[in-house]
Amino acid sequence: DAGVIQSPRHEVTEMGQEVTLRCKPISGHNSLFWYRQTMMRGLELLIYFNNNVPIDDSGMPEDRFSAKMPNASFSTLKIQPSEPRDSAVYFCASSRYRPDTQYFGPGTRLTVL
C-alpha cells in the first residue's frame, strides 16, 4: 500500500503569497493530522480531522491558516498571506481508529522569503 502522499515536497514563495499544501492519506484511514515542525518548537499539531470533519483546530496559529478535507482521500492546508515565520516543514499524518498510531508523509519544506 502507498503511504501518505504530500505535495509539493518543497515550496519557496515570497511573503504575501498564497500557499497550498496537499495531502493524500492512506486508504482506509479515518483520521488525518497536519503538523508543523521547526527547530525551535519541534513538532506541533495544527489541526486534525476525523471522518473528514475538523475536530480540533486549536493549534492553527492564525486566521491566515485554513485546512479542508473535502473527501476521505484528500486534504489541503492553505496559508494566505504567507509570512517568513511560516517557514517550516509541514507534515500530514493519517491513522485508522487509533490516534496514537499515526503514519506520516514525507513532509513539505516551506520557505517564505
Partner 1 sequence: TQLLEQSPQFLSIQEGENLTVYCNSSSVFSSLQWYRQEPGEGPVLLVTVVTGGEVKKLKRLTFQFGDARKDSSLHITAAQPGDTGLYLCAGPSSNTGKLIFGQGTTLQVKP
Nearer to partner 1, 81 or 104 (CB): 104
100 binds partner 1 (CB under 8 A): yes
Residue whose entry in the numeric block shows the C-alpha cell 480540533: 56
Which residue stretch of 21-29, 65-73, 79-87, 100-108 sits at the interface with partner 1 (rule: CB under 8 A)?
A: 100-108
Q: How far is CA 99 from the centre of its chain?
A: 16
Give the one residue of 75, 82, 94, 102 binding partner 1; rule: CB under 8 A.
102
CA angle 98, 102, 108 (to 5 degrees): 150
* Residues from 38 through 97 that contact partner 1 (CB under 8 A): 42-43, 45, 48, 56, 91, 93
Alpha-carbon distance 77 to 27, whole Å? Answer: 19
Decide whether 33 or 65 has the Cβ nearer to partner 1: 33
**Omega before 8 within 30 of 0, i.e. cis:** yes
Place of cell 495531502: 23
Residue 103 touches partner 1, criterion: CB under 8 A: yes
Does position 104 bind partner 1 by CB under 8 A?
yes
Phi, psi angle pair for 82, to nearest 5°: -80, 155
Binding site for partner 1 (CB under 8 A): 4, 33, 42-43, 45, 48, 56, 91, 93, 99-107
